[in-house]
Chain A
């Protein structure tokens, strides 16, 4: 017969005495003190027993609010067995005890983590973006533009003739782009000068989910060759085609949820430990989209018998305008890829389609290759 040494707490009280528990027929839990005085005797199935966890004391909660507890987990397990009760948590406890299982869990977690952040989230976001109703995308775009008009943007100062010329170029590109003529709309705006300083928006163009493409006056002023702005239009149209804007929105919503699953509860250590990975992953998703838009734009320009490399000239000119002669410094958390690399890739595109590159620094964006591990296969 199994005997279990421990402590007995009187019903709903903090007072306790040293006690012994045993099982008497049939499946009855018997608790007595050191002198053999019976403290409680209850049916085994009426007792609530805590699951085994590390070396925590095991608790037997009795129906009248009393409690028996013991540090001897192995003996407690055999007592539970004698009561013919299920040993809850036994399986999990086994897992937590075995180092090989822990190691396997670690590998499962890392692989699943890679898969979720590299595949599930971007693909899921793309699927959601495609499933989003056009009406919703339209409302979102209208509201975004309205907010920007109140804060960072103001009416264009381009003459009607300039606007006409830009729109004509825009339509020529649209006719070759995936969405066709009706899918995009060009809108002119100027950056608002904030508090006497230069406008924060600068030379820029961006796409909204419903196909509205906004170009700032200062970008138009920078153009030296029509093909340059046509490259930009092609780039923004690709953002519209792939619903990149919506994808980013969904990714922003999915990322914290996924991170929470993987870390358990980061806030226990600090918010910063959760925030930084979010920013880094989010910007890497964004860089992947920019590269895709560049490639699409190059394909459109080639189909128009134009050279994609003109856009490279514009990108470098933009950089030196914003950051001075030396160009902008490389940035780990930027939402655009390194400009020099972008320009180089666009130049290559003059010759024909360039195979999707594998970026070893950001395997979640492009996939991983043996080359990244220093292994070359001949």
Chain B
């Protein structure tokens, strides 16, 4: 029911976002992608990425029109080759001559703003809706302040982590443009601190509960064991390691996504697009946490076969919680001139596992 998200403002029309992909359909695309990637020793992975992204963007609809992904597979392949070479060099030198790690950190620190910008810009300019592409316009200096200065500050003083998160969100949202209009988000620092506090309380609570539960089970089983010496518990002792790892891993995953949902609601839910359009984000933290944890466990249990269904399930839920409150009809967006953007930064960021974005 998209109408239920409507703020009490008569001038705005609410357009719900909807994901129309289906698990069985994406499963086939995924399996063929993996098989071809393996058979071509990884070269097809660039085309696989484009097909996957196209499937997810192309099935995401806003106001009757889908988004589109335009990146060229050849460009991605070149970026990927460079990124993998760099990563192999980094891994091997870090393992064999650990001293070089300092050198790598310096290089990555200097390159980080460029990586952030070119990765976000690559994705923005290759995304379009109704024939108009997105843009991202941050400078190296702005990215340096956001991703190097503030990240170092947050590493040094943990109390600054929520504030840094807001800096990153502002950086990401406020430099995006669509059809000549700028996105802008603003929210109070107090609210993001509140979110991190909730996350902290939640993780302490769950871990206390888990430890208490474990202690209770141990007490009960030892009693049982004393009572009837020849009863053997059905649980293999070795399995406990794995169960404990899964429990604590799931907890961490749940809380991370719980917090991420609230932060997204804050950053996207307070964003506007020039011209009086508002973005709406109503992700339920409980629901998102549950979906990600159950997706992960099912993916592990099915040796990865559930993975495509998991991705579709996640996209379907996330997208259903976004909407656009438009001020006027959406016809008057006009594309701005676009500069070419190589995929090198995007692929390096991917291989080194840097997440830029919300």
Contacts and interface: CB of A to CB of B under 8 A. Distances in A.
Interface of A: 9, 12-16, 50, 53-54, 56-57, 59, 65-67, 92, 95-97, 99, 101-102, 104-106, 108-109, 112-113, 116, 136, 139-140, 143, 147, 249, 252-253, 257, 261-270, 272-273, 275-277, 329-333
B32 A59 contact: no
Contacts of A108: 35, 38-39
Contact of A14 (B97, B130, B250): B130
Contact of B131 (A13, A50, A53): A13
Nearest to B99: A143
Interface of B: 21, 25, 27-39, 42, 45, 47-49, 51-52, 54-55, 58-59, 66, 68, 84, 88, 91-92, 95-99, 129-132, 179, 236-242, 245-246, 249-250, 252-253, 292, 295-296, 299-300, 304, 307, 310-311, 314, 330-335, 353
B310 A96 contact: no
Contacts of B45: 261, 264
Contacts of B239: 332
The secondary-structure label for the interface of chain A is helix
Given A105-B31, A269-B295, A272-B253, A14 B96 contact: no
The 8 closest A-B pairs by CB, nearest first: A105-B35, A330-B238, A9-B131, A329-B237, A56-B58, A12-B335, A14-B130, A14-B333
A96 B29 contact: yes
B31 A14 contact: no
A112 B38 contact: yes
B353 A261 contact: no
B292 A269 contact: yes
A24 B31 CA distance: 40
Given A16-B131, A257-B84, A272-B300, 6 more contacts: A54-B55, A96-B29, A102-B32, A264-B48, A265-B52, A269-B314
A30 to B, nearest CB: 19
Given A53-B51, A109-B38, A14 B332 contact: yes
A344 to B, nearest CB: 17
A65 B237 contact: no
B238 A263 contact: no
A15 B330 CA distance: 8
B353 to A, nearest CB: 7
Contacts of B129: 14
26 contacts: A12-B131, A12-B132, A12-B335, A13-B334, A14-B179, A14-B333, A50-B54, A56-B54, A97-B28, A105-B34, A105-B35, A106-B35, A109-B35, A112-B38, A116-B38, A143-B99, A253-B92, A261-B42, A261-B45, A262-B304, A263-B304, A264-B37, A269-B296, A273-B304, A332-B239, A332-B241
Contacts of A96: 28-29, 32
A58 to B, nearest CB: 10
Given A96-B28, A270-B292, A273-B299, A331 B238 contact: yes
The B interface is mostly helix, strand or loop, or mixed, namely helix
A26 B249 CA distance: 63
A265 B42 CA distance: 13
A146 to B, nearest CB: 10
Given A108-B38, A329-B237, A56 B55 contact: yes
A140 B96 contact: yes
A75 to B, nearest CB: 18
Given A56-B59, A105-B31, A140-B96, A253 B330 contact: no
A279 to B, nearest CB: 8
Contacts of A15: 331-332
A264 B44 CA distance: 11
Nearest to B350: A265
Contacts of A332: 238-239, 241-242
B133 to A, nearest CB: 9
Contacts of A102: 27-28, 31-32
Contacts of B55: 53-54, 56
Contact of A65 (B21, B66, B238, B335): B335
Nearest to B56: A268
Contact of A16 (B130, B242, B295, B314): B130
B32 A264 contact: no
A54 B54 CA distance: 10
A65 B133 CA distance: 11
Contacts of A253: 88, 91-92, 95
A333 B240 CA distance: 11
B299 A12 contact: no
B296 A53 contact: no
B243 to A, nearest CB: 10
A272 B92 CA distance: 24
Contact of B32 (A105, A140, A257, A277): A105
Nearest to A15: B331
B18 to A, nearest CB: 14
B97 A57 contact: no
Contacts of A12: 131-132, 334-335
Q: Which of A13, A112, A269, A329 has most chain B Cβ within 10 Å? A: A269
A276 B245 contact: yes
A264 B34 contact: yes
Contacts of A252: 95
B307 A249 contact: no
A273 B88 CA distance: 22
Nearest to A57: B66
Contacts of B88: 253
A143 B98 CA distance: 8
